Amino acid sequence: MSAELNLVLLGPPGAGKGTQAERLRADFSLPYLATGDMLRKHVKDGTAIGVKARAYMDAGDLVPDELIIAMILEEIDAQGDDGFLLDGFPRTVPQADALDEAIAGRGRRLTAVLLIDADDECVIKRISGRRVAANGRVYHIASDPPVTEGVDDEEGKPLVQRDDDKPETVRQRLRTYHEQTVPLIDYYEGRGLLHRFDGSRSPAEVAEHIRATLSTLRLEETL
């Protein structure tokens, strides 16, 4: 059996994590554990974790780390025999310590942390250029514009810029990222787990670099 790949995905909003996650799932058959999506599903389905989480959310409180980690472990136990790709957690160094301790209790350890990086101006340009159609189709004014400016190709309806995509909102999201998550980069680099990828390059180039890195790591794990 090939060595497991237990991976954490890091990077600022708009660096291309979602695109690379899709490719990683296809290339390495890894379950994608996006904690935000998982939490919403638990709440929607009314699971035991979801009921507890909803009580915190309804009170305006953050969902405790222990509950998030319990949710992650449940998914790893269910579908992560050969590894997993974790996105959205940890966001802070204390969360990283707690995650390590939790997966060590399952006899596991992280294989690598993949940082898909891009500078702030690249991120702002990439996200603020998005325009969305009523049917959900997403355009980009520079890289994937509609035939007629500001109008959906399929239905001819006006495109909109979501509030989350406006430059001032993106800058706030980046400030939060730098304050809370950037310390994780030094933390994982110090442990020899961090691998950097240039998110300003094309998705195909980034995917090829990640694929080569993980293939080497998997080979080293089997030696």
Please report the pLDDT score of residue 2 as a whole number: 55
- Domain contains 113: yes
Please report the pLDDT score of residue 121 as a whole number: 94
Please report the pLDDT score of residue 182 as a whole number: 87
Distance CA 84, CA 6 (A): 5
Alpha helix segments (H runs only) across the chain: 17-28, 35-45, 48-58, 65-79, 93-104, 120-128, 167-176, 182-190, 203-222
Half-sphere exposure of 203 (CA within 13 A, CB side): 11
- Domain contains 51: no
Please report the pLDDT score of residue 221 as a whole number: 72
Coil, strand or helix at 144: strand
Residue where the block lists tokens 């890091």: 10
Please report the pLDDT score of residue 1 as a whole number: 40
Domain that holds residue 191: 5-31+80-222
Please report the pLDDT score of residue 114 as a whole number: 97
> Domain containing 128 — which CATH number?
3.40.50.300
* pLDDT (tens digit per residue) in 196-217: 999 999 999 999 999 999 988 8
Query: pLDDT by residue for the chain (223 residues), tens digit each?
Result: 457 899 999 999 889 998 999 999 888 889 999 999 999 999 999 999 999 999 999 999 989 999 999 999 999 999 888 899 999 899 899 999 999 999 999 999 999 999 999 999 999 999 999 999 999 999 999 989 999 999 999 999 999 999 999 999 999 999 999 998 889 999 999 999 999 999 999 999 999 999 999 988 887 776 6
Q: Do the strands 112-117 and 130-132 form a parallel or antiparallel pair, or are they unpaired? A: unpaired
Number of domains the chain is built from: 1
- Domain contains 214: yes
- Domain contains 54: no
Residue where the block lists tokens 């325009």: 131
Nearest CA to 5 out of 62, 81, 59, 72 is that of 81
- Domain contains 155: yes
Please report the pLDDT score of residue 157 as a whole number: 94
Nearest CA to 92 out of 152, 23, 196, 8 is that of 8
The set of catalytic residues is 17, 91, 130, 162, 173
Cβ proximity of 152 and 137 under 8 Å: yes
- Domain contains 40: no
Please report the pLDDT score of residue 223 as a whole number: 61
Report yes or no on whether pTM surpasses 0.85.
yes
- Domain contains 215: yes
Distance CA 191, CA 188 (A): 5
